[in-house]
Structure 1
């Protein structure tokens, strides 16, 4: 991996770390379905504006259907699951569970996509989860049933991310590739179309919602335009450059940023666990994304 790849991983983690805070603010007020739909809708709008502004091509090169399906798997379902979980779980809890994405990706890749993982990479995944547990303080939930439902929702989301990463490589990267901006745009179209019927049903049959809340709208716009439109351009570019499994390791870095943004925005205290856990996470990310290259270099030097 190049230095620029590591920088993009950090940038993506910082942006997605903030998304948990935004969803935690919006979902209880607007509802899970409505928040998820508004996120992908504004993600779609944001990407459309970006693409028009830079005069990007809208040529999907025969991959439009694949992009739509990826949108459902990689955006529509996961966003709804996380918005659902945000009604029951603290943001930190969701961030911990979100970090199981590389593990889910590894398991799915091993079981269905012929991926081979070294013991060192498995060790890195486990170490990353340990670091995240050290970092995040889990708040008390209101009931056991809600906790279980929230955990299941988050795990469904991470499973979707794991599948989508490999399908992106199979349907997009391995078939001539496609501009990451175009893939991201198509995926948000797919996610928006998927969630639109549920949004209509929710607003017409669900409980009355107070839509005149400036702070909530600010969170929705931020999570849609910044955490979705901009972030997914970076994410799909990473998948094309470094592969799905390495791209999924970004989730190891999200909880430290989520805690940091909560500290800055809500004046929450950062304890020693944050520093220790952050160091553990950094080591785990290095183990997962670079061990094979390092071992190959060491072996080459030994032969010389």
Structure 2
């Protein structure tokens, strides 16, 4: 990996770490469905503006349908799941559960894309499950129905991310590739169209909402334009440059940023269960995403 790739990973982690804070602020006031829709909608508008400013031509080259579907899997569904979780979990908890994305990516690759899992990676997956159990059950009365629901929602979101990473490689990269800005733009169109009916249903049949809240709208605009539009250009560029599994290592760096932003903005704190579980999850992800000695040696021989 180049120095520029590391810089983009850190920047992406800081941005996505802040997204959990913004979703927590907005979802508690506007609701999960509305927040998820507004995030992808402003993500779509932000990308459209970026493409207009850069005078970039949008050519899907026969991959428009796949870009739309990727938007549902990689944005629409997981954003809704995280908005649900944001109503029950502190930002740091959602972020460390988001770090299980490489684990889900490994399981998805094994189950559906012919990827092999070594003993080391299987150990990482099992250890990751133990870490999740510790986060959920150890500490200050964290084992309750809402916490369990929040954890399940986060894991469903990471499962979507795991699938989307490999589908991006299969549908986009292995078929000639596509400009990352175009993939990001198409994905937000798909996510917006997917969530639009639910948004209409929520606003017409759900409880009344005070829409005149400046702080909440600031969070919506930030999570839509910065954490979605700008971040997804970085994300798809990284997938194209360093591959899906390496790109998913960004989740290592997201939790510290999420905890920091949550503490600074909302005064959120963490307990001993979170710290222990987070360390276990980080070790498990490290086992999954780093090559073993045999793999490294084989690569060294190939490059000699």
TM interval, shorter chain, is 0.7 to 0.9
1:198 aligned partner: 198
1:286-301, aligned counterparts within 5 Å?
Answer: 288-291=288-291, 296=296, 300=300
The structure-2 alpha-carbon separation of the partners of 1:145 and 1:289, relative to structure 1 and needing over 3 Å to count, comes to closer
Cα deviation for residue 266 of structure 1 reads 3.8
Alpha-carbon distance between aligned partners in 2 of 1:269 and 1:234, rounded to the nearest angstrom? 30
**Is 2:270 the counterpart of 1:255?**
no
What is the TM-score with the length of structure 2 in the denominator?
0.86
Correspondence for 1:50: 50
Partner residue, 1:151: 151
> Structure 2 unaligned runs (5+)?
none
How far did 1:93 drift? 2.1
Query: Matched residues in 2 for 1:149 and 1:128: separation?
Result: 18
In the alignment, the residues of structure 2 paired with residue 152 and residue 132 of structure 1 have an alpha-carbon distance, to the nearest angstrom, of 10
Q: CA deviation at 1:140?
A: 5.0
Partner of 1:4: 4
SS at match of 1:58: coil
Residue equivalent to 2:171: 171
Partner Cα separation in structure 2 for residue 293 and residue 179 of structure 1 = 35
Could you say which residue in structure 1 is the equivalent of 2:114?
Answer: 114
Residue 250 of structure 1 and its aligned partner are, at CA, apart by 1.4
Map of 1:125-140 to 2, 5 A cutoff? 140=141
3-state DSSP class of the match of 1:14?
helix
Structure 2 CA distance for aligned equivalents of residues 4 and 276 of structure 1:
32
Q: Kindly indicate whether the alpha-carbon contact (under 8 Å) linking 2:27 and 2:84 is maintained by their aligned counterparts in 1.
A: yes
Distance 1:182 1:103, change over 3 A: same
Please report the RMSD computed on the Cα atoms of aligned residues, expressed in angstroms.
Answer: 3.2
How far apart are the structure 2 equivalents of 1:19 and 1:156?
Answer: 17
User: Would you say how many aligned residue pairs link Structure 1 and Structure 2?
Assistant: 301
CA shift in 2, pair 1:82/1:63, >3 Å: same
Write out per-residue CA displacement over residues 19-56 of structure 1, whole angstroms, 9 at most, x where no aligned residue: 11111111010000000000000000000000010011
C-alpha distance after superposition, 1:89-148 (max 9, x if no partner)? 22222122211111111001011101123344455667778889999997756x832222
Deviations along 1:187-209, one digit per CA (max 9) or x if unpaired, are: 00000000001101111111000
Give the Cα separation in 1 of the matches to 2:17 and 2:129: 16
Give the 3-state SS of the residue equivalent to 1:291 in structure 2.
coil
Matched residues in 1 for 2:192 and 2:67: separation? 12
Shift of 1:229: 0.4
Q: Give a deviation string over 1:141-182, Cα, whole Å, max 9, x none.
A: 6x8322222222111111111111100000000000000000
Distance 1:269 1:173 in 2: 41
